[in-house]
Amino acid sequence: MIKVLVVEDDPMVAYLNQRYVDSIAGFSVVKNIGDGEEALRVLRTEDIDLVILDIYMPKVDGLKLLEEIRNRFIHVDVILVTAAKELEVIDKALKLGAVDYLIKPFKFERLKDALEKYRGRYKFFNEEGSASQEDIDKLTKGRLADLKSRKSLPKGLHEKTLERIRIKLKENEDVFLNADEVAEKTGVSRVTARRYLEYLDSIGAIECEVEYGSVGRPSYVYRLIKE
């Protein structure tokens, strides 16, 4: 689970940001804080992976907080969500290592896209091993959904079958598919389809949602993350 700190001084915006983040699989908002000073205290004492950060705040603004994070070598990633759209502000934020920058007002789909790309980045860097030049090229071009695991495939999984499933997901990238549908389209068993889908989800290549039917247990549906 990716642990998130929301730093936003507007209570309504902070509430909405938290709801948005918590609705995305793999993310959990640990705290919601309204000023930079308190955020810095939390970052020094708690294990946080990602900060959703506003710029215009009392006491310590977002850019100053980002500077302090870097100066103190606090290992955390930052996505700016702010009304600030001056080029010099955006330039400074990116030079300080912000992984994305959203200008208010934004659509939920834009934040969802930012978080899904970050999830791929997070999983990529939390594996052991080394990267290929192809991996780095995809990383620097923002094509995180296409990053493959740097480890060899888990036992029992095969590259050709994986590629067949990826192709079918690509052909149906605008809709969510469950394991039965993927199995039917690829000619593999439901159990096999589910194993490959779970693997693709684990490396951040697809998104997974829970679908609740009128009866029975909920089912999982999957969709390829668009570039």
Q: What is the pLDDT of residues 82-102, one digit of tens each?
A: 999 999 999 999 999 999 999
Rounded mean pLDDT of 184-193? Answer: 95
| Per-residue confidence (pLDDT) for residue 141, from 0 to 100 | 66
Check pLDDT > 90 for residue 81. Answer: yes
Pick the CATH number of 132-224 from 1.10.1760.20, 3.40.220.10, 3.40.50.880, 1.10.10.10: 1.10.10.10
Residue 117 near residue 139 (C-beta atoms within 8 A): no
pLDDT at 19 over 90: yes
Mean pLDDT of 27-52: 94
Q: Work out the number of other CB atoms within 10 angstroms of the CB of residue 71.
A: 9
Q: Which tens digits make up the pLDDT trace of 121-167? A: 888 888 777 888 887 877 776 655 455 444 567 888 998 899 899 99
- Cα separation, 7 vs 55, whole angstroms: 9
Domain boundaries, the chain: 2-122, 132-224
Specify the pLDDT at position 216: 61
Residue type, 180: D
pTM of the model: 0.64
CATH class of 2-122: alpha beta
Q: Give me the pLDDT at residue 215, please.
A: 60
